[in-house]
Structure 1
Amino acid sequence: MTAILRNESGKLIRSSLLLTGLFGLISVFLFAAFPGFADQAEVVEEAFPPVLAGLFGFEELHTIEGFVGGYLFPLLWILFGGMYFAYVAAGLIVGDVRTRKMDLTLSNPVSRESVVLQKVAALWVPLVVLNAGLILFVLAGVTVLGESIDPIALGMTHLLSVPYLLVCAGIGLVLSVVLDREETAQATALGLVFVLWLIDGLSHLDPALEWIRDLTPSRYFDPTAILVHEEYALADAGILLVTFLALVAVATVIFVRRDI
Structure 2
Amino acid sequence: MFELTRYDGRRRVRGSIALSVGLSALAAMVIWVYPSFEAEVDLDQLLAAYPDPILQVMGVQTMTSLGGFLSFELYTFGWVIMLGLYLAYSTAGTIADDVDRGRMDVLLSMPLSRRRLVAERFAAMAVPIVGANLLPPVVVFIGARLIDHPLAATDVLAVHLLSIPYLFACAGIGLLASVVFDRAAIAQRVALGVTFALFLSESLLTGTDAETVGSIAPMRYYDPNAVLLEGHYDLVGAGMLVAMTLAFLVASQLWFGRTDIH
Q: Which of the five TM-score ranges fits, normalised by the shorter chain? A: over 0.9
How far apart are residue 105 of structure 1 and its match?
A: 1.4
| CA–CA distance in structure 2, aligned partners of residues 108 and 58 of structure 1 | 50
8 Å contact 1:58–1:71 — kept in the other structure? no
| CA–CA distance in structure 1, aligned partners of residues 37 and 61 of structure 2 | 12
- TM-score under structure 1 length normalisation: 0.93
How far apart are residue 209 of structure 1 and its match?
A: 3.3
C-alpha deviations, 1:121-175, integer Å up to 9, x for none? 1112112210012212312431332220011111111111111111101100000
What code does the residue aligned with 2:81 have?
L
8 Å contact 1:56–1:71 — kept in the other structure? no
8 Å contact 2:89–2:188 — kept in the other structure? yes
8 Å contact 1:37–1:44 — kept in the other structure? no
Aligned-partner SS, 1:45: helix
Matched ranges for 1:6-85 at <5 A: 6-39=6-39, 40-85=42-87
2:128 maps to 1:107: no
| CA–CA distance in structure 1, aligned partners of residues 28 and 154 of structure 2 | 22
| CA–CA distance in structure 1, aligned partners of residues 78 and 237 of structure 2 | 21
How far apart are residue 20 of structure 1 and its match?
A: 2.3
Query: Structure 1: where are the runs of 5+ without partners?
Result: none
- TM-score under structure 2 length normalisation: 0.93
| CA–CA distance in structure 2, aligned partners of residues 251 and 38 of structure 1 | 47
How far apart are residue 37 of structure 1 and its match?
A: 4.1
The residue aligned with 1:88 is 90
> Matched residue pairs, number?
259
Q: Percent identity?
A: 33
- Residues 128 and 153 (structure 1), Cα distance of their counterparts in 2 relative to 1, 3 Å cut: same
8 Å contact 2:28–2:140 — kept in the other structure? no
| CA–CA distance in structure 2, aligned partners of residues 72 and 211 of structure 1 | 27
Aligned-partner SS, 1:135: helix
8 Å contact 1:37–1:61 — kept in the other structure? no
C-alpha deviations, 1:24-43, integer Å up to 9, x for none? 33334322332244342211
Matched ranges for 1:196-215 at <5 A: 196-204=198-206, 207-215=208-216
Aligned-partner SS, 1:208: coil
What RMSD, in angstroms, separates the aligned Cα atoms of the two structures? 1.6
C-alpha deviations, 1:90-114, integer Å up to 9, x for none? 0110111122222111211111111
